[in-house]
Amino acid sequence: SFGNSDALGYIGNAKHLIAGEGFREAGILSALRPPVYPLFLAAFLKLGLPLLSLPVIQALIFSAAAVLLYKLGKLLFSERTGKIAGFIFGLEPLLAITTIMALPETLLILFLIFFFYLLSLSYLKNTGGKGLLFLSGVVLGLAPLTKPVAIYLPFVVALFIAVNALASGEWKKNLTALA
C-alpha cells in the first residue's frame, strides 16, 4: 500500500535523492526520516524496477529474515526450535503484511535478526574473531538509521552482555571483546 503518508514520504524522498535534491519533505530539505529506507527505495527505482514490484523484493527480504531466525534459533537452542521460530515468523500475518507496504519495517526486522545472529555466532561459537563483532555492530548501526525506535537496542545489548559477564565471572574477557 503506497497510499499512506509515511509510504508516500519515503517514496518522495527516494525520488528526490535520484534527482540529486537530497532528502526533502514538502519540497524543503529535511532530516525528518532516517536515511536507510529512502536510499533502499532510491536504489530500487534507479535500477528501473517499478514500485509495484517492491512487495516482491520485500517478501524476499522477509524470507531471508525467516531463514536467519531459523539459524539463530538453531544456534541458540536446537534445530527444532529454529524451525518452529522460522515457521511462526513466516506465517505471522502482521509481519507478513509489512512486506506489501513501502515502509521500513521489513528492512528493520532483517537488520535486527541479522545483528542477533552475528552477535550470537561470535559470542557463543567464538568464531570470526573481532570481524563478526564489527559486522554485527555495523548491522546494529543500520537499524536506527532505518527506524529510530532501534536507537535503544545498543543499551539493551550492552546491559545484557554486562550482566552475563558479571554472572559468568569472565567480565574482563567480555569487556575486552567489546573494545
CB 105 within 8 A of CB 147: yes
What is the per-residue pLDDT for 154? 87
Cβ neighbours of residue 159 closer than 8 Å, sequence gap 6 or more: none
Summarize the confidence of residues 53-79 as an average pLDDT: 96
Chain segment 105-122, per-residue pLDDT in tens: 999 999 999 999 998 888
C-beta of residue 13 within 8 angstroms of C-beta of residue 33: yes
Q: What is the CA radius of gyration of the chain?
A: 18
Give the separation between CA 147 and CA 63, rounded to whole angstroms: 20
Beta pairing partners, 28:
25
pLDDT attached to residue 174: 58
Burial code (b: 16+ CB inside 10 Å, e: under 16) for 99-136 equals: bebbbbbbbbbbbbbbbbbbbbbbbeeeeeeeebbebb
Share of the chain above pLDDT 90, in %: 68
Q: How far apart are CA 1 and CA 54, in angstroms?
A: 10
- Residue 27 falls in which region: left (phi positive, over 0), alpha (psi -120 to 50) or beta: left
User: Which of 116, 115, 112, 111 has the alpha carbon at shortest distance from 40?
Assistant: 111
C-alpha cell belonging to residue 93: 500475518
125-132: average pLDDT: 76
**pLDDT (0 to 100) of residue 128:** 65
Tell me what pLDDT residue 163 has: 80
**Which pLDDT tens digit goes with each residue over 14-46?**
999 999 999 998 888 988 899 999 999 999 999
Lowest mean per-residue pLDDT among 21-25, 153-157, 167-171? 167-171
The pLDDT, as a whole number, for residue 32 is 87
The residue ranking higher by pLDDT, 174 or 84, is 84
Compute the average pLDDT of residues 66-87: 97
Report d(CA 56, CA 74) in Å as an integer: 27
